[in-house]
Structure 1
Amino acid sequence: MDVNYTVKEPTRQQGAKNRRQWLNTPENSKLVFRRELLESADSIALKTERSVAPIREQDGVLFESGKSFSELGIHEQICEILKSKFQIRNPTFIQQQAIPRILKGEDIIIKAQTGSGKTLAFLLPILTKLFTDYQQRGPSSFKRDEWASKVLIVSPTKELAMQSEMVAASLLSRTVMVSGSLTGAISRDKEKASLRKGITVISGTPGRIHDHLNQTACFKLTHIQAIVLDECDQLISHGFSSALQTILSHAREANPKVQVVLASATADRRVLDFIRSSVREAIPVGDLFSTNQAAIQPEAGLTKAVTPVSLDQRFCIVPSKMRLALLISTLAFETAKAAESKTNIRVLVFAETKDVCTLLNEILMRLSEAEMSEDHFILAKVFHLHGSLSVEDRQVVWHRFLESGGVLVATDVAARGLNLGSGTASSGLFGVDLVIQFEAPSSCEQYVHRVGRAGRMGQRGRSILFLLESEADLVPLLGSYGIGLTATPVDALAERVLEYRKPIRLMERVQTKVEELIANDKELRRMAVQAFSMYIRGYSMKSSDVRHVFNLKSLHLGHIAKGFGLSEAPSKVLEEFRPSKRQIKQARMERLAQVHGVKMKDKRSHRLKTKFDVSERDNRPVFKG
């Protein structure tokens, strides 16, 4: 029996006090009573795991009582490391499903929401088998070359590979076995030296691993036991299928029974095709598989997306000219609320391009540094993260953000591969508090990984998706993938801000302040023009599943420009990027010269030759007598 409680929104005529009470009223519309649980204790105790699992998943119960890592078969030494270094005592739902199957040596596909513990789900059982083998052989029989390249973890990005290597290094810290990475972060010679010494658990990117297999004589998969394809959908979609097939063929030549584990939050049809062609029959494990016996067939359930059940997902239809002002106003409310309660808040703002990310970072930093001023809107530190930064710089920025809290403006490089904490509670193991998508994602899959930065490991999280009026069709499209979003009107979101901060017209004041900043600063204006230009150029460059939602002709370019803090007309703004007639002619001549294989004539060749030019060219007297 479903019982819904709704509270009618008071009108403006009923007064601000009633409206504040309504805004602070907890949402009870999703309150559900289950008749099947209103039974005696004896009857509930007789329920089978198959009958209880659907209720547990629907309610978001990630931890199952009565189960521990040791009861699942994990080595006691690893269990102690989990308690001391990671502060983890109980396995998550996906770990309880995956660990027994991996311990049996089965090939599996782990499909689970981001932040549910997939990395530990495959590392713990694989390392347990290594620990057990090491104890049976005895320390005296340990030879580093025989324990080299036992486990290979393939990841699509350097950050994700480094994350897996850090977790493996922590779990192997009390043994003679070592872990290492092959990502290109260091020189090839240094990686060769590490391989020559012997690395038990190798984590790397497919291109670098493939390169070492072909070029490094000491890198052999003679003793390989398990291969993990982490974020396998990204590996395949980025064109690494041939490299993965080569890696798998090298492994099977050395060990025909090598175990293969695939892990991702959005396994789809491309993964199925790869499995049929390159991997032996794999058993799906995880969300959408655990309670449905028909889902054991690989064709079932892979097209549905999985997001954390503890995540409150909302969307807001924003006027294009007020998008930046609404973002700043929302951040002003969230940071002021955290400052008043003396708590750290972590807000992650996603932008599509590096140029938009850089502009937002610069504006927010100036508003956060204006202390002792009426323009001090952002009461927190501001960071930025994009693909042009080095791997080391990304890691430094990420951990500073986790430790101190604040606002991080990032591109989709932060959607995957950057672990939210190094394993300790103080470093933010459970992720960010709020995810704001300033621009719509380029695909439904990308949406899943963006919001997966919040609501990790069963903790509460929030996400807000900013959409233009012409992009409203993205909501039902996400719903078709099993992603449910709740609408939040701009008025409601803005009034929360306006109630908390004075003066009342905060959004208009913010917009005016931003336009003044951009108009009075040439460098900031150049950044705004560049961000606007890149936004227009890349607006329709989305994946095929969402491309029909983003129509450039439906945009009001004047309002879009205002949303980037530009008060001029778009034609005047884009004029700065429009090449002149001379530049167009020069480019055309260069293309023709390149096609016909001739060199461009020097400008001086068009003027008349003098006797001096002729003599200099031929290096002889002008007249031969």
Structure 2
Amino acid sequence: MADDGMLLNFALGDSVITQEAKYKGGTWRDRLSAKKRSQHQPRDGEGEGKGKGPHQPKNPNQTQLGTRPAKRQRTTDSNEGRSGEGGNRSRPQQQGPRRHPGQFASSLFTSNPESTHVEEPKSEEPIEDAKPTNAPLLDGLDTFTNLGLSPNLAAHLLTKLELKAPTAIQKASVSQLLKEESDAFIQAETGSGKTLAYLLPLVQRIMALSKATKEDGVHRDSGLFAIILAPTRELCKQISVVLENVLRCANWIVCGTVIGGEKKKSEKARLRKGLNILVATPGRLADHLENTEALNVSNVRWLVLDEGDRLMDLGFEEELQGIVKKLDARQRPSRVPGVPTRRTTVLCSATLKMNVQRLGEISLKDAIHIKADATDEDGKTDGKKDDEDSFRVPAQLKQSYAVVPSKLRLVSLTAFLKRTFIRKGSVMKAIVFVSCADSADFLFEVFSREFGKRKGKKNRDRNDSDDEEEESDEAKILSEREKMSPHGTIAPATAFSNSLNSQIRTATLKSFSRSDDPSVMVCTDVAARGLDLPNVELVIEYDPAFSADDHTHRIGRTARLGRDGRACIFLQPGCEENYVEILKRGYRDGGKALTRTDATEILKRGFGVSVDSSSKNWEEKTTDWQMDVERWALDNPKYLEMARRGFQSHIRAYATHIAAERSMFDIKELHLGHLAKSFALRDRPGKINVPGLRTSKEETKKDFKASRSGAAGQKRKAGAADDNPVASNTDDAARRMRQKMRENMAGASEFNLA
């Protein structure tokens, strides 16, 4: 009985007196938010049928914890969740799908940014297939004989090389270069046959020298008449192969190459034997001009600079100036009859940039501008001049762009390739372009990890007939998808980057070119210029190019010589979507044929049944694939380090876009935590020293604490050193050594751009 006469006799049930849940881990804001959320949740039995029950995640990958989702969660029935990198402490988890003990939630589909670009409504009128603009002219009026080539050379092109008619740029350049001996600038879109456009007039003129010579004609001892410069080793070798095929009708003319990465001793021996046409890279040619006495350039009357814009981009301006000066200084009257008195220089480029104009000022004199006739390209002309356009793509190339958040980049690329190769024969070969060599190496390991193991097992058991029969029986049971890739990923992958040595790069390109099976090549921009790789039907720009011109050359690996081709570029939501306006510039119709897709459609097609399916199994399959890659990287220190290097190199490469396009690729807009998922990392690596990259508050606090502790440590060492001068000298020497090591290692950590 209370003092005021009231009787306290209330019955308090278990639903009122409950043990207060304890929330551990995370920040105090997360713990407070979780506590408030649990207090406002309805109890068991409340709100059923009224839509007031606990909020369920939209898919099994989402978590509703704190103000933002945790990168990984540990289940309450397991104590094994500490195997992940960094060992994050668990946070309170709401109701959701049950997971296996020790399994982390990938959270792929949470907190992804939305697209900010409003897609223009497409016209309902069907778009007619465009006529190829870089195809051979097959109207019957234009033949190689009509262009002025000798009947022998024209017949060789028709019968041996199976070239029935020239392309538009070949028609314009061959007739012009055979008619006049003036310098020329050849401009044409990628895949239009620029190599033969300058090779055919060159071979025709040297063949004419043989007829003018009364004795035994032109042979390897007659001297060097022509030099062809190209920016990369691969392009030099490709030009040399095409030249050798053309010269089969005139086998007395000898050609050869001098390129970086080869043995100089063998090159010097080749030069001593004698060459008539030399294909070289600028650096190696400049070296031989300086140090090789056997290289006689007094008879050189033709100089070709292929891919002029790339020559300047790679920093060969100084070498090119030196080469031109040495050729001018060493030129002498030739003993071979019919050799011109002046040298003809031909500059080839798909774009007319400022550096190409500067190269023209260095090498050209009173040059003529050769372009394909618009009426030959598409059969019509609109009367508009497009000389000022930065680039144009082949009309038959079907290009699209995909808006993909950072976290979904890796799974979206996988789904895109899975869908591409699911139907055998639909696409034979695909090229995936990335920004740096470390990313190429990482993707190659990801896409080939299970395929390589299966193939290796098959090779080891090849001698065992019983095992072969068992494997063949199992192969018959597998579906077509499993046959193509045992892991269910994509077709066999190949890596090609500037980090490989010359022999491996040559073997890789040869293997990819000659392969009759569906295959993928992951490469950097080292394969973006001039390479003619057969049966490439798809180009994926996983990382956007550093400039619009590089983008043009990348997609130019497909839709060559009138063939069909597709290209797709991955863009992140936000400022990167403004890059679409640059993509539209390359189209003659203003970009009406440019199509758009998003990550959801790609993942549904790659991991699900169809886009219209209401089933959510594609989300579970996507998450399972992502978590499998993360476990694979976590269990292998080698691949984990490869993923970290790829992540860091990608960030550094992202900061190197040209100034005019840097606003579309703002490094401050990158979410590093989300981007780490695309490299199979559950946590982003440590501090990355990139100019312009915003430092997080946690890193700032760590740096501040480290500086304070470092200052206190120095004071303690200074106090101890007062009593021990030997220790003081040792500490000073060690400190100077560490400083020198930091200075020397600063440049070594930069990424390797190809």
When residues 145 and 60 of structure 1 are mapped into structure 2, their CA distance, relative to the original with a 3 A threshold, is closer
Report the Cα distance in structure 2 between the residues aligned to 1:86 and 1:351, rounded to whole angstroms: 34
Q: Confirm or deny: 8 A CA contact 1:557 1:570 kept in the other structure.
A: no
Per the alignment, residue 3 of structure 1 pairs with none
When residues 384 and 71 of structure 1 are mapped into structure 2, their CA distance, relative to the original with a 3 A threshold, is same
Q: 2:737 aligns with which of 590, 597, 605?
A: 590
Report the Cα distance in structure 2 between the residues aligned to 1:163 and 1:504, rounded to whole angstroms: 43
**Which amino acid in structure 1 is aligned with residue 157 of structure 2?**
L
Q: 2:220 aligns with which of 144, 147, 152?
A: 144
Point out the more displaced range, 327-336 or 390-399: 390-399
CA drift of 1:290 comes to: 7.9
Is residue 309 from structure 1 mapped to residue 395 from structure 2 by the alignment?
yes
Counterpart mapping for 1:125-164 below 5 A: 125-138=201-214, 140-142=216-218, 144-146=220-222, 148-164=223-239
Counterpart mapping for 1:75-90 below 5 A: 75-90=150-165
Report the Cα distance in structure 1 between the residues aligned to 2:352 and 2:552, rounded to whole angstroms: 12
SS of 1:527's partner is helix
CA drift of 1:199 comes to: 0.4
Per the alignment, residue 56 of structure 2 pairs with none
Q: 1:352 aligns with which of 423, 435, 449?
A: 435
Is residue 63 from structure 1 mapped to residue 137 from structure 2 by the alignment?
yes
Q: 1:234 aligns with which of 310, 314, 317?
A: 310
- Work out the number of aligned pairs and report it: 528
Per the alignment, residue 418 of structure 2 pairs with 332
Per the alignment, residue 506 of structure 2 pairs with 395
Q: 2:257 aligns with which of 170, 173, 181?
A: 181
Q: Confirm or deny: 8 A CA contact 1:305 1:445 kept in the other structure.
A: yes
Q: Confirm or deny: 8 A CA contact 1:269 1:302 kept in the other structure.
A: no
CA drift of 1:237 comes to: 2.6
Q: 1:261 aligns with which of 346, 363, 383?
A: 346
**Which amino acid in structure 2 is aligned with residue 384 of structure 1?**
A
Q: Confirm or deny: 8 A CA contact 1:75 1:132 kept in the other structure.
A: no
**Which TM-score applies when normalising by structure 2?**
0.64
Q: Confirm or deny: 8 A CA contact 2:134 2:560 kept in the other structure.
A: no
Report the Cα distance in structure 2 between the residues aligned to 1:140 and 1:534, rounded to whole angstroms: 58
SS of 1:191's partner is helix
Counterpart mapping for 1:86-125 below 5 A: 86-104=161-179, 105-125=181-201
When residues 142 and 532 of structure 1 are mapped into structure 2, their CA distance, relative to the original with a 3 A threshold, is closer
CA drift of 1:595 comes to: 13
Per the alignment, residue 564 of structure 1 pairs with 679
**Deviations along 1:232-273, whole A, 9 cap, x unmatched?**
111123222232233223334426621111112223122223
Q: 1:416 aligns with which of 522, 529, 549?
A: 529
Report the Cα distance in structure 2 between the residues aligned to 1:28 and 1:88, rounded to whole angstroms: 37
**Which amino acid in structure 2 is aligned with residue 117 of structure 1?**
G
CA drift of 1:291 comes to: 8.8
Per the alignment, residue 557 of structure 2 pairs with 453
Q: Confirm or deny: 8 A CA contact 1:233 1:271 kept in the other structure.
A: yes
SS of 1:77's partner is helix
When residues 388 and 350 of structure 1 are mapped into structure 2, their CA distance, relative to the original with a 3 A threshold, is same
SS of 2:549's partner is helix
CA drift of 1:331 comes to: 0.9
Report the Cα distance in structure 2 between the residues aligned to 1:260 and 1:395, rounded to whole angstroms: 29
Per the alignment, residue 30 of structure 1 pairs with 127
SS of 1:568's partner is coil
Is residue 167 from structure 1 mapped to residue 242 from structure 2 by the alignment?
yes
Q: Confirm or deny: 8 A CA contact 1:368 1:379 kept in the other structure.
A: no
CA drift of 1:522 comes to: 2.4
CA drift of 1:409 comes to: 0.9
**Deviations along 1:549-591, whole A, 9 cap, x unmatched?**
2212211111111121112255599999x99979x99996237
Q: Confirm or deny: 8 A CA contact 1:336 1:378 kept in the other structure.
A: no
Q: Confirm or deny: 8 A CA contact 1:384 1:408 kept in the other structure.
A: yes
Q: 1:532 aligns with which of 623, 647, 652?
A: 647
**Which TM-score applies when normalising by structure 1?**
0.76
Q: Confirm or deny: 8 A CA contact 1:346 1:402 kept in the other structure.
A: no
Per the alignment, residue 190 of structure 1 pairs with 266
Q: Confirm or deny: 8 A CA contact 1:344 1:406 kept in the other structure.
A: no
Is residue 499 from structure 1 mapped to residue 578 from structure 2 by the alignment?
no
Report the Cα distance in structure 2 between the residues aligned to 1:252 and 1:290, rounded to whole angstroms: 39
When residues 118 and 349 of structure 1 are mapped into structure 2, their CA distance, relative to the original with a 3 A threshold, is same
Per the alignment, residue 509 of structure 1 pairs with 624
**Deviations along 1:52-72, whole A, 9 cap, x unmatched?**
xxx978x66652521111111
State the superposition RMSD in angstroms. Answer: 3.5
Point out the more displaced range, 530-539 or 133-142: 133-142
When residues 363 and 262 of structure 1 are mapped into structure 2, their CA distance, relative to the original with a 3 A threshold, is same
Q: Confirm or deny: 8 A CA contact 2:427 2:538 kept in the other structure.
A: no
CA drift of 1:432 comes to: 0.7
CA drift of 1:381 comes to: 1.6
Is residue 385 from structure 1 mapped to residue 527 from structure 2 by the alignment?
no
Is residue 489 from structure 1 mapped to residue 563 from structure 2 by the alignment?
no
CA drift of 1:136 comes to: 3.3
SS of 2:248's partner is coil
Report the Cα distance in structure 1 between the residues aligned to 2:221 and 2:297, rounded to whole angstroms: 11
Report the Cα distance in structure 2 between the residues aligned to 1:185 and 1:478, rounded to whole angstroms: 36
Q: Confirm or deny: 8 A CA contact 2:409 2:678 kept in the other structure.
A: yes
Point out the more displaced range, 529-538 or 452-461: 529-538
Counterpart mapping for 1:250-329 below 5 A: 250-253=326-329, 254=331, 257-287=342-372, 301=387, 303-329=389-415
Report the Cα distance in structure 2 between the residues aligned to 1:381 and 1:111, rounded to whole angstroms: 36
SS of 1:518's partner is helix
**Which amino acid in structure 2 is aligned with residue 390 of structure 1?**
N
Per the alignment, residue 582 of structure 2 pairs with 477
**Deviations along 1:117-150, whole A, 9 cap, x unmatched?**
110110011101111221232562445332x211
CA drift of 1:286 comes to: 2.1
Unmatched 5+ residue regions in structure 1? 1-25, 33-54, 421-427, 597-625
Is residue 376 from structure 1 mapped to residue 459 from structure 2 by the alignment?
no
CA drift of 1:594 comes to: 9.6
Report the Cα distance in structure 1 between the residues aligned to 2:218 and 2:547, rounded to whole angstroms: 49
When residues 73 and 490 of structure 1 are mapped into structure 2, their CA distance, relative to the original with a 3 A threshold, is same
CA drift of 1:456 comes to: 0.8
Per the alignment, residue 566 of structure 2 pairs with 462
When residues 586 and 469 of structure 1 are mapped into structure 2, their CA distance, relative to the original with a 3 A threshold, is farther
Identity %: 30
CA drift of 1:481 comes to: 5.8
When residues 244 and 573 of structure 1 are mapped into structure 2, their CA distance, relative to the original with a 3 A threshold, is closer
CA drift of 1:370 comes to: 7.3
Q: 2:147 aligns with which of 72, 78, 102?
A: 72
SS of 1:337's partner is coil
Report the Cα distance in structure 1 between the residues aligned to 2:498 and 2:573, rounded to whole angstroms: 29
Report the Cα distance in structure 1 between the residues aligned to 2:513 and 2:344, rounded to whole angstroms: 35
**Which amino acid in structure 1 is aligned with residue 442 of structure 2?**
L
Q: Confirm or deny: 8 A CA contact 2:347 2:360 kept in the other structure.
A: no
Is residue 437 from structure 1 mapped to residue 541 from structure 2 by the alignment?
yes
- Structure with higher helix content: 1
SS of 1:218's partner is coil
When residues 133 and 359 of structure 1 are mapped into structure 2, their CA distance, relative to the original with a 3 A threshold, is same
Report the Cα distance in structure 1 between the residues aligned to 2:418 and 2:357, rounded to whole angstroms: 45
